[in-house]
């Protein structure tokens, strides 16, 4: 069905390779780490020195999001002496993209030799004791999106989130005096926010936050050999916890309010993550 995914014009891997070639031309092959920034969290890119910004529409093969809060540009620069790549905005499964298209950029990052991947997102909080603005390091996820970016027989048969990088994030957060919780992220298909019953289901399954991204990218990044870590910004209580209606405006407002704290954590953590990644072997079996 569909032929060999690893060969042939127009195949998912061929499209990722085409994007990788474009990224090499921009200098992405020199980058140690890639960051994918979620809704309202793209301001971190301003911390990079000697940066070059390229709109997605100028990068052949780069999927483009139409969701507010996603700037839609790739930024390459230096932080603490390390070259990093920042993806300001992502595409989502609910926008009509396939799982392969959602993860095309992550695949391409791995193809050009980027060794580490830090995913971020805005998420709804399932726990009543976590107020909006809480930062949560993802320790594992539940993929309820009904799709996978993996091919038959491909790797990724383990928790995709690297414990060594997770420990580094925890240590940096403590050093910077920033609270960083840990928990399980539940990835739903969207685009509608979860119903109170769905939030209760997520809670009973062990979830701590719900959202509409990240799980496919983490899975593909791990399978591509990258060391993966991820942080959720809890921008709102999930449905049914407070009884109030949810809105994307609330997500954006909370993201803006927590931006300085979030960016402080990333600015301190990324150089340390680059150093820690150098001592971690390839994830592929």
Question: What is the per-residue pLDDT across 26-75, written as a single tens digit (0 to 9) for each?
Answer: 999 999 999 999 876 778 888 999 999 999 999 999 998 776 655 689 99
pTM listed for this prediction: 0.91
Closest CA to 114 of 74, 144, 143: 74
Rounded mean pLDDT, 252-270:
86
175 a catalytic residue: no
248 a catalytic residue: yes
70 a catalytic residue: yes
95 a catalytic residue: yes
Task: Tell me the two tokens of residue 225.
Answer: 């050999």
pLDDT at 265 over 80: yes
50 a catalytic residue: no
Separation of alpha carbons 62 and 194, rounded Å: 29
pLDDT category of residue 182 using cuts at 50, 70 and 90: very high
User: Which of the following is catalytic: 143, 188, 213, 283?
Assistant: 213
pLDDT at 281 over 90: no
202 a catalytic residue: no
Whole-angstrom CA distances from 27 to 92, 109, 112, 114, 124 are 26, 11, 9, 11, 35
User: Which of the following is catalytic: 65, 121, 143, 236?
Assistant: 236
232 a catalytic residue: no
b/e burial code for range 226-262 (CB count within 10 A of at least 16 → b): bbbbbbbbbbbbbbbbeeeebebebbbebbeebbeeb
User: Which of the following is catalytic: 212, 224, 238, 239?
Assistant: 212
212 a catalytic residue: yes
**Residue 1 has what pLDDT?**
42
| Domains of the chain by start residue, with CATH | 12-277 (3.40.50.1580)
Average pLDDT of the chain, as a whole number: 89
């Amino acid at each position: 069905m569909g032929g060999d995914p690893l060969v042939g014009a127009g195949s998912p891997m061929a499209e990722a390779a085409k994007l990788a070639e474009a990224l090499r031309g921009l200098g992405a092959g020199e980058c140690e780490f890639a960051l994918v920034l979620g809704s309202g969290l793209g301001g971190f890119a301003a911390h990079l020195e000697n940066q070059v910004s390229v709109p997605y529409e100028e990068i052949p093969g780069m999927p483009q999001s139409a969701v507010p809060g996603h700037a839609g540009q790739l930024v390459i620069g230096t932080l603490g002496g390390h070259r990093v790549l920042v993806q300001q905005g992502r595409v989502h499964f609910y926008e009509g993209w396939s799982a392969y298209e959602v993860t095309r950029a992550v695949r391409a990052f791995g193809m050009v030799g980027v060794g580490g991947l830090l995913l971020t997102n805005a998420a709804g909080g399932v726990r009543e004791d976590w107020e909006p603005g809480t930062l949560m390091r993802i320790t594992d996820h539940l993929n309820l999106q009904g799709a996978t970016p993996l091919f038959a027989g491909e790797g990724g048969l383990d928790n995709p989130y690297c414990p060594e990088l997770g420990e580094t994030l925890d240590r940096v957060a403590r050093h910077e005096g920033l609270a960083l919780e840990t928990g399980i992220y539940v990835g739903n298909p969207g685009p509608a926010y979860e119903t109170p019953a769905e939030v209760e289901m997520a809670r009973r399954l062990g979830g701590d936050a719900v959202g509409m991204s990240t799980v496919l990218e983490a899975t593909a990044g791990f399978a591509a050999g990258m060391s993966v870590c991820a942080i959720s910004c809890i921008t709102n209580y999930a449905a049914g916890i407070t009884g109030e209606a949810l809105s994307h405006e609330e997500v954006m407002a909370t993201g803006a309010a927590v931006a300085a704290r979030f960016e402080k954590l990333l600015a301190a953590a990324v150089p340390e993550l680059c150093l820690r990644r150098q001592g971690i072997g390839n994830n592929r079996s």
